[in-house]
Structure 1
Amino acid sequence: MSTGLLVQYVVIGLAVLASALYAFRKLAPQLTSRWLAAASIHFSQPGQAAWLRSLGRRLQPKQATGNCSDGCGTCGACGPKPPASARGGAMPLQFRPPQR
């Protein structure tokens, strides 16, 4: 195997890994937040090296800010939106059987 081919495989593998991690964070944000918190706690312990403690601080997940964009889901206000007719938008079509 040539060096160029090996470099190509490494670059493609890193691109696939990065895209898989990005998709996983988008599809399962609470699970990845728990995993990051667990890794952060493990790396931030006093007996670890300084660079591992620094990595642990970086891996800490962001805290919930209390707005609807953080995805916490604790208040129930981020539920399904009302239909367009209730928001003043277009009314959906309603088909009725012919009257006799």
Structure 2
Amino acid sequence: MSAGLLVQYVVVGLIVLASALIVFRKLAPKLTNRWLASSSIHFSRSGRAAWLRALGRRLQPKQATGDCSDGCSTCGACGPKPPAAARTGPTPLEFRPRR
């Protein structure tokens, strides 16, 4: 195996790993925040190297600030508003012509 092919495999592997991490963060945000918090605590312990403590600070998950721009959706105020008059019965089908 040549060195160029090995570098290509490493680069493609890193791209696939980064893509998988991004998708996993989108699909399971609470789980990944727990994992980031636990790894941040592990790396930030006293007695660790300075670069590991810096990595631990960088891995800390963002905390919800309480305003509507952080997207935490804990209060329910940021999401879509429910319709004013909710229908109680079955809704009729609406057929729309194609454009």
- Distance in 1, matches of 2:80 and 2:31, equals 22
Tell me the TM-score normalized by structure 2.
0.73
Instruction: Say how many residue pairs are matched.
Output: 90
Deviation of residue 24 (structure 1)? 0.9
Deviation of residue 29 (structure 1)? 1.2
> Of the two, which has the highest radius of gyration?
1
Aligned residue in 2 for 1:63? 63
Q: Does 1:45 align with 2:45?
A: yes
Identity %: 81
Instruction: Name the Cα RMSD after superposition.
Output: 2.8
Aligned residue in 2 for 1:27? 27
Q: Name which of structure 1's ranges 10-19 and 70-79 shifts more when overlaid on structure 2.
A: 70-79
Q: Give secondary structure in 2 for the equivalent of 1:74.
A: coil
Q: Name which of structure 1's ranges 16-25 and 69-78 shifts more when overlaid on structure 2.
A: 69-78
- Distance in 1, matches of 2:69 and 2:82, equals 18
Aligned residue in 2 for 1:89? none
Query: In structure 2, what residue type is equivalent to 1:40?
Result: S
Unaligned 5+ segments in structure 1 are 87-91, 96-100
Aligned residue in 1 for 2:89? none
Query: In structure 1, what residue type is equivalent to 2:36?
Result: L
- Distance in 1, matches of 2:45 and 2:30, equals 23
Q: Give secondary structure in 2 for the equivalent of 1:11.
A: helix
Unaligned 5+ segments in structure 2 are 87-91
